[in-house]
Amino acid sequence: MYAPDRHHKIYSIEEWWSDRWNPLEYWALFNFGESFFIQWQRLFEAVPKVCVWWMSNENSEYTNFVMFSKDCYLIASGRNNERCLYSRNVRDCINAVDCLQVNQSEDIYEVIACSGCTNLTHSFHVFWSRDSSYLYFCEWCDNCFWCVNLTNKSYHIFNKPYPKEDYILELKRLKSMDPEELKSKIKTHLLSKPRRALNSFSNEWTATYDYIRNSKEIKQSSFIADCENISYSFEQEKSHDLQDCCMGWWGNQFVYESVAIWMNEFNDAFCITFTNSQSIYYCESCYNSSNLFGCVGLRNAQYCILNKQYSKEEYEILVPKIIELMESDKQWWEFFPPSISPFWYNETIANEYFPLDKAEATKNEFNWSDYENPKPEVSKIIPASKLPAKISEIPDDIINWAIECSETGKPFRIIKSELEFYRKHDLPLPHKHPDIRHIDRMHLRNPRELHDRRCEKCSIEIKTTYSPNAKEIVYCNECYNKEIV
């Protein structure tokens, strides 16, 4: 995950987790005449980095921040998955391809923010549904196409019920329509149906952003599930009392201003990529540890400062003195400076949610990368526009060809398991590079911005992620529920 133009020492996964090296050997004695962050940066740059972060996976080398998964390819942030491809934020899924923020689902394609679904394609914010396509904000549905805001429905097309035999005939007729005409019909149908002000489902209605489920006391946060007392955070589940945290799984408590807090963290702050630890501060890639301050790459450690081992008594005397120095330097209670990051701003997912150009990023002390991966040399390449429209006409040897992206011209490949998936579900080959497909999915979600609007049914004031200039009809939660029941 580190660009070739960085100077960090990179280890393979096997080497990094092995006993063949000892991160304690990179220790430094704390210097009270120098800034903490300067000392920490030297340590951070000296300690070897793992090439990608994952554990307990099988045949899933090309994944990052993934655990307990098998036969996965180019997915990021996931666990307990099998045969999932080109997706992000995937949990407990089988055969999820080109998906974003999905869990407990099987055989899904181009799906966003869905849970408990089977054989579902091209859908957004759908729960416990199956054998359907192009669903939006639906629950407990089956055999439905191009439907919005349905619950417990079967054999519907454009929200209209059909007998099973007529459903099949009407579906066949619509699929034979001119693609642009059908696209226009879908858009008109979508805009005719109301949207919930916030796409969240909470036990107590304290949600203030989209994608919050079974949670309470949630403030300015999104993609939160089964949580309590979460503020200014995103992508957290089965945890409580977190603030300013990004990306976490289960069992985390009392964590502040940290990133990639995977599981079972307690009383930690200002940390990056850590798990099963407690009372650690300003640490990176530390696991199964406790009582660490300013450490990098430690495992099964305690009472260390800048990777130097101390006794419990020494540690408890020294840490308050370091905090006092940091307070005088206005560094305590502050996260690491962005200039320390080994990832430049335009390489990170931050740029997907809060896009900046190079000048803006530099002004805010973020680094910016001008590095471009060299274009792969391929012997056989076909423009996407020349691919057969029907998957039945695609030859087996397409896996030996590169496809030229219809949007960027960048080549990409089809792998064997991917081709099998498209054939199983009678789906055409994609025409765009996986990176572009991901960007397209991201654009389908509302930005992380809250707007003041009025419910278009009862006129009550509401907070919503839909812009006042958006064309969607937006209802308050009460009016929306009355409409769709």
pLDDT tens across the length of the chain (485 residues): 888 888 889 999 999 999 999 999 999 999 999 999 999 999 999 999 999 988 899 999 999 999 999 999 999 999 999 999 999 999 999 999 999 999 999 999 999 999 999 999 999 999 999 999 999 999 999 999 999 999 999 999 999 999 999 999 999 999 888 888 888 999 999 999 999 998 876 555 555 678 888 898 988 888 898 999 999 998 999 999 999 999 988 899 999 999 998 889 999 999 999 889 999 999 999 999 999 999 999 999 999 999 999 999 999 999 999 999 999 999 999 999 998 998 999 999 889 888 999 999 999 999 999 888 888 888 899 999 999 999 999 999 999 999 999 999 999 999 999 999 999 999 999 999 999 999 999 999 988 888 999 999 999 999 999 999 999 999 998 999 998 86
CA distance 97 to 372: 26
Give the start-end residues of each E strand in 54-153: 54-55, 64-67, 73-79, 85-91, 94-97, 100-103, 106-115, 118-124, 130-136, 142-148
Q: Check residue 299 and give its pLDDT.
A: 96
Q: Check residue 111 and give its pLDDT.
A: 98
Decide: 45 and 59 in contact? Cβ < 8 Å.
no
Q: Phi and psi of 24, rounded to 5°?
A: -65, -20
- 144 and 91 in one domain? yes
Structure tokens at 133: 């396509």
SS3 category, 246: strand
Domain assignment of residue 70, yes or no: no
Domain assignment of residue 146, yes or no: yes
Q: Check residue 206 and give its pLDDT.
A: 59
- 363 and 302 in one domain? no
Those residues with Cβ within 8 angstroms of residue 282's Cβ, 6 or more apart along the chain or in another chain: 36, 40, 269, 270, 271, 293, 294, 336
- 184 and 104 in one domain? yes
Decide: 231 and 219 in contact? Cβ < 8 Å.
yes
Beta bridge partners of 127: 115, 139
- 364 and 273 in one domain? no
- 401 and 320 in one domain? no
- 386 and 352 in one domain? no
Decide: 81 and 93 in contact? Cβ < 8 Å.
yes
Structural domain boundaries, residue 407: 381-443
Q: Residues for the chain: how many in total?
A: 485
Cα dihedral 370, 373, 375, 377, rounded to 10, equals 150
Domain assignment of residue 26, yes or no: no
Domain assignment of residue 14, yes or no: no
Quick one: which of 33, 159, 4, 85 has its CA closest to 483?
A: 159
Structure tokens at 51: 């090439």
Structure tokens at 311: 């006794």
- 436 and 461 in one domain? no
- 304 and 251 in one domain? yes
Those residues with Cβ within 8 angstroms of residue 200's Cβ, 6 or more apart along the chain or in another chain: 207, 209, 210, 211, 212, 213
Domain assignment of residue 53, yes or no: no
Decide: 61 and 50 in contact? Cβ < 8 Å.
no
Q: Check residue 207 and give its pLDDT.
A: 57
Domain assignment of residue 72, yes or no: no
Quick one: which of 55, 73, 60, 47 has its CA closest to 14?
A: 55
- 179 and 128 in one domain? yes
SS3 category, 326: helix
Q: Check residue 294 and give its pLDDT.
A: 98
- 438 and 458 in one domain? no
Domain count along the chain? 5
| Residue linked to tokens 């945890």 | 239
Domain assignment of residue 251, yes or no: yes
Domain-terminating residue out of 164, 196, 228: 196
Quick one: which of 445, 472, 462 has its CA closest to 234?
A: 445
DSSP single-letter state for residue 70: B
| Residue linked to tokens 């930690």 | 268
Domain assignment of residue 31, yes or no: no
The per-residue b/e assignment along 204-236, b for 16 or more CB within 10 angstroms, e otherwise, is eeebbbbbbbebbebeebbbbbebbbbbebbbb
- 304 and 254 in one domain? yes
SS3 category, 102: strand
Structure tokens at 164: 């099973």
